[in-house]
Structure 1
Amino acid sequence: MATAMTRPDLAPEPALDPLDVSRAEFFRDDTWQAPFEHLRAEAPVHYTPASSFGPYWSVSTYKPIVEVESLPEIFSSEVGGITLADFLDPAIDVRMPMFIARDRPVHTAQRRTVAPAFTPSEMTRMSDGLRRRTATLLDELLWGEEFDWVDTVSVELTTQMLAVLFDFPWADRRKLTFWSDWAGDIESVKNEELRLQRLQHMYECGAYFSQLWNGKVGQPQTPDLISMMIHSDAMAEMDQMEFIGNLILLIVGGNDTTRNTMSALAYGLDKFPDARAKLEADPGLIGNTTQEVIRWQTPLAHMRRTATQDYELQGQQIRQGDKLALWYVSANRDRSVFGEDADDIVVDRPNARRHLAFGHGIHRCVGARLAEMQIAILLEEMARRRMRVNVVGEPVRVAACFVHGYRKLPVEISRY
């Protein structure tokens, strides 16, 4: 009897693992909720043996993520980095250390260097300028005409804030957005040409900042991040790659996260009109709404850790060297923590502040206060103008499992 043969070029594609939640299309199409709901219910610590990023464990519920984040000596940020992507091909990639991807003691010393930029007193000092810039931008918007909220409001406000933080030339501030987008694009790991482009842009970023750095060497300290690095023992002698790495961290941390929450507040409040009406009736809810929108959006979907030793997590045996994805985006929808309405925006949710969007433990976002202040001031200035954002078309979302955000969001504004 003849045996059927399959031509190699016509062989079927391997079946997609429905629980491989690293797939970009889940986030591009906003369909990530269902697979994560399944994971939380059936396998909160789940092993994916094959993905486009290699094998990894998905940690999808609140409690085990907090457990992992509380054990930084066992679950390292430095061994494999902080994303599922491995940018470690020596022919294409260059390691760019950054303090969020360092373990103690280096992490502690470098974090301590930049932390003074985000103290309560610094927030007070920066708040007037931030409010003035926000008010100016909102006053320039055209009522009743369609525009892209992402580029016009979210990107512009966060880029202006970054320019202030770095004492960056104002006319060139959109370079920060460009570099941030390339730095956060972990999908480029799958394409050699894109990896090379990414590396080139990171070098361009480093060269530009090196000029700014050199201009501040030997000068009195000023309250910008570059000057703080120069005047610190922990960061003054960084090599070029570590300098670029920490810049990228601060740019992405200050840009992608805040800007995508600003986009989420426009999209999400339109999606949940009852919540929006409650907020419009009571501006005293703005502080809590800020936390709730950060929780609901979760602008960085995951952080990665690598096990430095064998460890049992929720009954699953993690082996030394295993890669874990801590899915903040899923933990922030954990019904055991946030209730049965965890998928909704609830502006008076009593425990909204418990979200994990900023991480947990020693790596919790150093700029969290600034992000919260930017979002709250935007909501306050919108309330002052009785401004309502009406979504008039589907958003274009980031197609990636790391930065969880929006490329475009068509809106019109009206008064309530």
Structure 2
Amino acid sequence: LEPEIRLRVRSILDDLPRGEEFNWVQHLSIELTTQMLAVLFDVPFEDRYKLTHWSDVATLPPGIGPAQTREQRQDELMECLDYFTALWKERADRQDPGNDLISIMAHSRSTSDMIDRPMEFLGNLMLLIVGGNDTTRNSLTGGVLAFNENPDQYQKLRDHPQLIPNMVSEIIRWQSPVAHMRRRATMDTTLADKQIRAGDIVCMWYLSGNRDPAIFEDADAFLIDRPNARSHIG
């Protein structure tokens, strides 16, 4: 996908407003993620904003995100399910399936019957959409913020472009595009001398782990040549 990503990045950057203030999140962070999600799912280009809309519906509480009530949120997610169910049925009938994620799931031996379990299908869709939207959008935005607040690091990057891979890890560490991950324990267990019982909610805070001073020296600083930047969580 690298050639496709490079092509779209160039196009978006070339179209940015010049000589005036503009919203970076709207013009680049959201636009790039929506375009690439449309490629991954092979949805009509004009429908691309539906994907990020459904991502926001899924991750933001009613009244804060696009949905104002629980009922509206449920209706929006069912609309998402209906949309992708139609795509699944159309692609499942193809003799020569494409390389998009829906075609892969529809024709894979291990997932070809997932359409018969709509809530599981919706859950997998949300994981894919949110994973492709939130983390990328937030990292693109947080990275620009980090360089604006740390111009010395931007100059270091210009002088040493070979630091780009490490820079990406440091952006993820410093920005922590996902705040936390929550799961429900399925059995009794003990973790770090803490008793966890079946049914308990366990929450891992990326924000805390990625600024842990026991792991990262000067943890609040943004340093693109940080030796252990890749030790970030997430």
TM-score, normalised by the number of residues in structure 1: 0.53
Equivalent AA in structure 1 for residue 83 of structure 2: Y
SS in 1 for 2:79: helix
Match of 1:283 in 2: 161
2:201 is the counterpart of 1:328: no
CA distance in 2, matches of 1:205, 1:167: 15
2:226 is the counterpart of 1:349: yes
Q: For the Cα contact (< 8 Å) 1:272–1:344, is it kept in 2?
A: no
Match of 1:39 in 2: none
2:14 is the counterpart of 1:139: yes
Assess, with a 3 A threshold, how the Cα gap between structure 1 residues 307 and 274 changes in structure 2: closer, same or farther: same
Q: For the Cα contact (< 8 Å) 1:264–1:297, is it kept in 2?
A: yes
Cα displacement (A) at 1:164: 0.3
CA distance in 2, matches of 1:329, 1:197: 30
CA distance in 2, matches of 1:156, 1:285: 26
- From 169, 177, 184, the equivalent of 2:52 is 177
Greater Rg over alpha carbons, structure:
1
Q: How does 1:398-413 map to 2 (within 5 A)?
A: none
Q: How does 1:94-109 map to 2 (within 5 A)?
A: none
Q: Deviation digits for residues 304-327 of structure 1, max 9, x if unmatched?
A: 133334433333333332211111
Q: Deviation digits for residues 109-132 of structure 1, max 9, x if unmatched?
A: xxxxxxxxxxxxxxxxx1111101
Match of 2:36 in 1: 161
SS in 2 for 1:235: coil
Cα displacement (A) at 1:286: 1.1
CA distance in 2, matches of 1:204, 1:196: 12
Q: How does 1:137-286 map to 2 (within 5 A)?
A: 137-185=12-60, 187-188=61-62, 194-219=69-94, 220-238=96-114, 239-286=117-164
CA distance in 2, matches of 1:347, 1:327: 23
Q: Deviation digits for residues 136-180 of structure 1, max 9, x if unmatched?
A: 110111233100000100000011000000001001111111111
Q: How does 1:19-98 map to 2 (within 5 A)?
A: none
Q: Deviation digits for residues 227-267 of structure 1, max 9, x if unmatched?
A: 00011122111122222221111110101110110000111
CA distance in 1, matches of 2:85, 2:2: 28
2:190 is the counterpart of 1:312: yes
- Higher RCO (C-alpha 8 Å, min separation 6): 1
Cα displacement (A) at 1:218: 2.1
CA distance in 2, matches of 1:338, 1:232: 42
CA distance in 1, matches of 2:160, 2:78: 48
Q: Deviation digits for residues 77-130 of structure 1, max 9, x if unmatched?
A: xxxxxxxxxxxxxxxxxxxxxxxxxxxxxxxxxxxxxxxxxxxxxxxxx11111
Cα displacement (A) at 1:332: 0.6
Q: For the Cα contact (< 8 Å) 1:300–1:328, is it kept in 2?
A: yes
CA distance in 2, matches of 1:346, 1:155: 25
CA distance in 2, matches of 1:243, 1:309: 25
CA distance in 2, matches of 1:348, 1:136: 29
Cα displacement (A) at 1:189: 9.5
Q: Deviation digits for residues 367-394 of structure 1, max 9, x if unmatched?
A: xxxxxxxxxxxxxxxxxxxxxxxxxxxx
Assess, with a 3 A threshold, how the Cα gap between structure 1 residues 189 and 331 changes in structure 2: closer, same or farther: farther
CA distance in 2, matches of 1:301, 1:317: 24
Which stretches of structure 1, 4 residues or longer, exceed 4 Å deviation after superposition? none
Q: Which runs of 5+ in 1 are unaligned?
A: 1-125, 358-416
Q: Deviation digits for residues 169-211 of structure 1, max 9, x if unmatched?
A: 00111111111110111x3399x96211111111111111122
CA distance in 1, matches of 2:58, 2:159: 40
Assess, with a 3 A threshold, how the Cα gap between structure 1 residues 135 and 189 changes in structure 2: closer, same or farther: closer
Aligned positions, number: 229
**Structure richer in helix, relative to its length:** 2
Q: Deviation digits for residues 270-291 of structure 1, max 9, x if unmatched?
A: 1122212211222111111111
Equivalent AA in structure 2 for residue 338 of structure 1: F
CA distance in 1, matches of 2:198, 2:34: 40
Assess, with a 3 A threshold, how the Cα gap between structure 1 residues 327 and 140 changes in structure 2: closer, same or farther: same
Assess, with a 3 A threshold, how the Cα gap between structure 1 residues 324 and 282 changes in structure 2: closer, same or farther: same
TM-score, normalised by the number of residues in structure 2: 0.92
